[in-house]
């Protein structure tokens, strides 16, 4: 079947650089003689027929913006066969021949389910700040989120040093400690807690014991991944406070500030490169693959492999923090 019209959507958590991907996909499609439409709010919008035209004028200047102009959502309805049937009705109504999905693991699971039930070509690109997808060295949004977290930690270090405080700084990452690990290295943290390392709590206690004589004189920064198995920053700080009451302990949860802000140059270029390649792949009748980058080369990884393989933080880098 010839591809004449592509539907673009963003799904799951937003990440800086998604707009760069949308911008590049529309420009590439125009060059190849294809029509583009945007599906707002991900799979939820696909079910609810929330489709808008995407022309060059509609995406002008969006490469500089964080978030996603197409909005995003998580859809429980799409997890049902009835929901996916409604999504197909929307595609037929608008004569959409193929889809470009920008998102993470859940996005590609949804795409895989739709493809297994219906004949619809879908290609994806990785948009998530977690940097936890198999088949790419970097996900769109990771670099921006990392720089945001690093800047926040630098500022926290200033006040921690002034008061001689112990700070626990929690960053996003859910089941992956990649963002926390790279943040800890970039800001020169004193300790790190990530879900991939089962011995990190023990080492933290040893470090705090050794540093006890300097408590309230020198700062001590601990970066915590939100998915840390010992609990989040608040829970861990409470445990530490009970064992080491001498420390003036504080907690800072960075939260959704990490998702926002103008994307870095790296994320703009990454989003643009991957989206352009994805549109070309659809024209070449590729389907069911994520377009990623490894060793500076664009590669394709089947959705099945992306969703069944787990990428974990390179814990060997923790030696830099120890």
Joined together, the tokens standing for residue 67 give: 């978030």
For the stretch 117-133, pLDDT in tens is 998 999 999 999 999 99
Q: Do residues 2 and 31 touch, judged by C-beta distance below 8 A?
A: no
42, pLDDT greater than 90: yes
Residue 110's nearest CA partner among 38, 19, 46 is 46
Q: Which residue bears the tokens 């998102």?
A: 103
Phi, psi for residue 98 in degrees, rounded to 5? -155, 165
199, pLDDT greater than 80: no
239, pLDDT greater than 90: yes
pLDDT band at 321 (very low <50, low <70, confident <90, very high): confident
For the stretch 56-94, pLDDT in tens is 999 999 999 999 999 999 899 999 999 999 999 999 999
221, pLDDT greater than 80: yes
230, pLDDT greater than 90: no
pLDDT band at 173 (very low <50, low <70, confident <90, very high): confident
| Per-residue pLDDT, 197 | 86
Query: How is domain 5-141+263-309 classified at the CATH fold level?
Result: Rossmann fold (3.40.50)
Q: Do residues 192 and 200 touch, judged by C-beta distance below 8 A?
A: yes
Mean pLDDT of 24-30: 98
- Which pairs count as long-range contacts for 78-82, CB under 8 Å and 24+ apart, including other chains? 78/43, 78/44, 78/46, 78/47, 78/110, 79/110, 81/117
| Per-residue pLDDT, 216 | 85
318, pLDDT greater than 90: no
| Per-residue pLDDT, 119 | 87
pLDDT band at 107 (very low <50, low <70, confident <90, very high): very high
- Among the listed residues 50, 130, 200, 267, the single catalytic one is 130
Which residue would you say has higher pLDDT here, 2 or 78? 78
Just give the CATH number of 143-259: 3.40.50.460
Q: How far apart are CA 265 and CA 13, in angstroms?
A: 20
For the stretch 258-295, pLDDT in tens is 999 999 999 999 999 999 999 999 999 889 999 999 99
Average pLDDT over the chain reads 95
Kindly list the distances between the CA atom of residue 199 and the CA atoms of 158, 181, 228, 229, 315, in Å, as whole numbers in the listed order: 29, 15, 11, 11, 11
| Per-residue pLDDT, 6 | 98
Cα–Cα–Cα angle for 16, 22, 26, rounded to 5 degrees: 160
Joined together, the tokens standing for residue 248 give: 């003036």
| Per-residue pLDDT, 191 | 95
pLDDT band at 174 (very low <50, low <70, confident <90, very high): confident
| Per-residue pLDDT, 82 | 96
Mean pLDDT of 7-17: 97
| CATH 3.40.50.450, the chain: domain bounds | 5-141+263-309
- Is 130 known to be catalytic? yes
| Per-residue pLDDT, 71 | 97
For the stretch 182-193, pLDDT in tens is 999 999 999 999
| Per-residue pLDDT, 60 | 97
| Per-residue pLDDT, 115 | 95
- For the chain, give the percent of residues with pLDDT over 70: 100
Q: How far apart are CA 306 and CA 108, in angstroms?
A: 8
| CATH 3.40.50.460, the chain: domain bounds | 143-259
Which residue would you say has higher pLDDT here, 77 or 317? 77
| Per-residue pLDDT, 227 | 82
- For the chain, give the percent of residues with pLDDT over 90: 87
């Amino acid at each position: 079947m010839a591809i004449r019209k592509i539907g673009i959507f963003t799904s799951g958590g937003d990440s800086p650089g998604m707009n760069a991907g949308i911008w590049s996909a529309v420009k590439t499609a125009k060059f190849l003689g294809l029509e583009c439409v945007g599906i707002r709010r991900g799979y939820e919008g696909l079910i609810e027929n929330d489709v808008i035209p995407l022309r060059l004028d509609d995406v002008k200047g969006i490469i500089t913006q964080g978030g996603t102009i197409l909005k995003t959502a998580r859809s429980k309805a799409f997890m049902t066969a009835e929901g996916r049937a409604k999504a197909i009705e929307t595609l037929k109504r608008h004569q959409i021949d193929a889809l470009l999905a920008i998102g993470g693991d859940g996005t590609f699971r949804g795409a895989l389910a739709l493809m297994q039930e219906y004949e619809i070509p879908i290609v994806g690109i990785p948009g998530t700040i977690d940097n936890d997808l198999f088949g790419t060295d970097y996900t769109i949004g990771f670099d921006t989120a990392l720089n945001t977290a690093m800047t926040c930690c630098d500022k926290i270090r200033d006040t921690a040093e002034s008061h001689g405080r112990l700070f626990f700084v929690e960053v996003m990452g859910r089941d992956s400690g990649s963002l926390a690990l790279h943040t800890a290295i970039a800001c020169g943290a004193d300790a790190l807690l990530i879900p991939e390392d089962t011995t990190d709590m023990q080492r933290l206690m040893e470090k705090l014991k050794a540093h006890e004589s300097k408590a309230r004189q020198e700062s001590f920064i601990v970066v915590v991944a939100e998915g840390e198995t010992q609990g989040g920053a608040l829970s861990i700080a409470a445990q530490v406070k009970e064992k080491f009451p001498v420390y003036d302990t504080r907690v800072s949860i960075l939260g959704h500030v990490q998702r926002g802000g103008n994307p870095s140059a790296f994320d703009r270029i990454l989003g643009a490169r991957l989206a352009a390649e994805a549109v070309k792949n659809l024209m070449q009748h590729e389907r069911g693959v994520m377009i990623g980058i490894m060793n500076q080369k664009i590669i394709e990884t089947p959705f099945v492999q992306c969703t069944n393989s787990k990428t974990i933080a390179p814990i060997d880098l923790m030696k830099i923090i120890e």
